[in-house]
Structure 1
Amino acid sequence: MTESELLGPRAHGEPCGSAVLKAVAEDFQVDEVLDIPLAGEGEHLWLWVEKRNLNTEEAARRIARAAGVPLKLISYAGLKDRQALTRQWFSLHLPGKSDPDLAAAEDEGLRILKRQRHSRKLQRGAHSANGFRLRLTRLTGDPEQLEARLQRIRQRGIPNYFGAQRFGFDGGNIHEARHFAQQGRFPEQRNRRSRLLSAARSLIFNRLLAERVAAGSWDRAQPGDLLAFTDSRSFFPAGVEECSDPRLAALDLHPTGPLWGRGESPAAGASQALEQSAAGGEALLRDWLVEAGMEHERRILRLPIGGLTWHYPAPDILQLEFVLPSGCFATALVRELVELAEQTDTACGF
């Protein structure tokens, strides 16, 4: 499956040029933002870890081996890129034990930058955001056009598509999910099951968002929508009055789309009909998600880009810095700006 099949139309027009992302790991840097004050004592050891060209799960396995504990005692808030330079938190459950020697886990691909005790383990999804520093190299394009596009993105945000990497190489996760759905069964391995169910939900969301982008309604509310604030998982219905809420124009409040699960979409009117239609286009996956017992959730359709700044370290290099809520994809921003000359696995963490 191609990227256009997995995502949808761009909101801000055709790419302004082309570039390479991730020529080296340092071109894609991610810092987890975790607003949790650590107690300094407790039976959980928290580690601030820098990893290079190493995925989160392999980093966890290294830490577990070095600490001499089962992998199930290692926790992390979210998955981070392999082909990147990332910094994120891990926690180890060590009741009644002193801090272990973790030197065996460290090399040029993994460094432990900080250690601190806390009373609780690190929960999945506990991080509030991710900070990014991206460097686009071998850049081609008109600088004035690029400047105008970046200003537009900063002012209006972008469609909050799930990135192509969510779906695996050539959409492999979707092919696999459809295979299980056709057989009416689920993977036995927990991680594999989670990965495929997540890919199926993400595809239905992207289908709905693509319809809203094509209609020009991805960044504005309409009666029947369900609205949510940028960093909130709760939502409320939009009537005529709510559709003119000034917080929509300020990019604090957004229309949402479905993360499919049991029950009908709580949207109403034309919004509900469009969501039902998008899910109906993937009826096999829709019914599979319901059978899996997934609960209906919501995701904002418009993604505001926090603190977006940019500069040119060299004429053919553009460096971007910004912050995104957890679960959102930095490549969705890059896609609205340039065409990538080399598509690679990139994610913002989720």
Structure 2
Amino acid sequence: KKDVGYAGMKDRMAVTRQWFSLPTVKVVARVFSSLERSGVRVLEVTRHTNKLRVGHLKGNRFRIVVRDVVPDALERAWAKLEVLTAQGMPNYYHGQRWGRDAQNVKQGVELLRKGKKGRASPYKARLLVSAVSAGLFNEYLDWRIDQGWFVEALKGDIAKKRETGGLFIVEDADVETRRLRAGEIDITGPIYGSKLWMAQGVPGEREEELLKEVGLTLESFRPFKSPGTRRPLRVMPQDVEVEQEGANLIFSFFLSAGSYATVLLEELMGP
């Protein structure tokens, strides 16, 4: 298992295609024979100098069928798609991380408060801590949308340049709002960790409040080697197509790595 590389996990309920890396020709031959017996098809084989690791991908292409839709679903989806194309899709984490009744988040907060004393297995700890970080990010994104600041830059925000990925502090909110709406930059939200670069001003105050509300600090994440990072508040879906076949809608699109197809579907199919 340690020798097999992959860039990310796929939905276990879907028919998926993805790349795997294997270390030697002998291992490849052995794996091929077992895959054929399990019903997996090998579509292409090529050589590469490096092992694939989680995160080594630009994004994912999706083709999703939504069955038995209401009569005007296609028109409503296209109307919402126009808005998403203009301002982007909220880059929420999806609820599959939370566990049943959000137990992963609740247990994760308890684990972070206790530190090493309450430590679970390494895998379980990573799962729980990431659920907390994702949940807090979603709360921050909710707050931005509720305040009308989804496509608005604020002084003290940490923005990300689309072209280079570089991060910087927003000094002139009017200038950076124009760049945001032109697609040159994105505003980021917090994925909490011990080394997180926190925003300043009003955005920074909200980031601090969210931690205090659950009784945590950035240091709470240190025992779990979770450094933190910044995540764009929006994502721009690409190559979106929607077509109708009888009572079904078929959605095809591309999302950058870490963004959720279920979130896009909820945006397009929701009330």
Give CA deviations for 1:160-207 in whole Å, capped at 9, x if unaligned: 110001222332322332342354336554332222221111111111
**1:294-338 deviation per Cα after TM superposition (whole angstroms, max 9, x unaligned):** 223100011111122211122x21111111110111111112122
Map of 2:19 onto structure 1: 89
Q: Which moved more, 1:178-187 or 1:253-262?
A: 178-187
Q: TM-score, normalised by structure 1?
A: 0.69
Q: Equivalent residue of 1:288, what SS?
A: helix
Aligned-pair identity (%): 29
Contact 2:115 2:220 in 1 (8 A): yes
**d(CA) in 2 for partners of 1:224, 1:98:** 52
Residues 60-119 of structure 1: per-residue CA shift (max 9 Å, x gap): xxxxxxxxxxx111111111110111111111122x847423222235652221122222
Picking from 101, 107, 128, the partner of 1:196 is 128
**What's the counterpart of residue 172 of structure 1?**
103
Q: Which range moves more in the overlay, 101-110 or 134-143?
A: 101-110
Q: Is the 1:200–1:285 contact (alpha carbons within 8 Å) kept by the matching residues of 2? A: no
Question: Match of 2:191?
Answer: 259
Aligned-partner residue type, residue 259 of structure 1: I
Contact 1:154/1:308, CA 8 A, preserved across alignment: no
2:58 alignment partner, one of 118, 128, 131: 128
Between the aligned partners of 1:281 and 1:287, the Cα distance in structure 2 is 15
| Match runs of 1:129-148 below 5 Å | 129-140=59-70, 142-143=72-73, 144-148=75-79
Where 1:155 maps in the other structure, the secondary structure is helix
The alignment's TM-score, normalised by the length of structure 2, stands at 0.88
Q: Does the 8 A contact of 1:265 with 1:275 survive in 2?
A: no
| Partner residue in 1 for 2:29 | 100
Within 2, Cα distance between the matches of 1:221 and 1:291?
33
Question: Which contiguous aligned blocks of 4+ residues in structure 1 show a shift greater than 6 angstroms?
Answer: none
CA distance in 2 between partners of 1:88 and 1:99 (Å): 16
Name the SS of the counterpart of 2:53 in structure 1. Answer: coil
Any idea what SS the aligned residue of 2:245 has?
Answer: strand
Match of 1:327 in 2: 258
Give the 3 Å change call, closer, same or farther, for CA 261–169 of structure 1 in structure 2. Answer: same
Shift of 1:234: 3.3
1:128 and 1:270 map into 2 onto residues whose CA distance is: 32
SS at match of 2:152: coil
2:42 aligned partner = 112
Range with greater deviation from structure 2 (254-263 or 236-245): 236-245
Distance between the aligned counterparts of 1:206 and 1:98, measured in 2? 42
For 1:330, the aligned partner's letter is A
Return the alpha-carbon distance in structure 1 between the equivalents of residues 83 and 267 of structure 2. 10
Contact 2:198–2:204 (CA under 8 A) maintained in structure 1: yes
Work out which of the residue numbers 209, 222, 231 in structure 1 matches 2:154: 222
Q: Which of 225, 232, 235 is the aligned partner of 1:293?
A: 225
Amino acid at match of 1:208: Y
Amino acid at match of 2:145: V
- Using the alignment, how far apart are the partners of 1:292 and 1:168 within structure 2? 20
Aligned AA (1:136): V
Alignment CA distance shift 1:141-1:183 (3 Å): farther
Cα distance in 2, alignment partners of residues 208 and 241 from structure 1: 19
- 1:259 Cα deviation after fit: 0.8
The one-letter code of the counterpart of 2:253 is F
Number of equivalent positions: 268
Q: Which structure shows the higher strand fraction?
A: 1
1:317 matched to which residue of 2? 248
Higher normalized helix content (fraction of residues)? 2
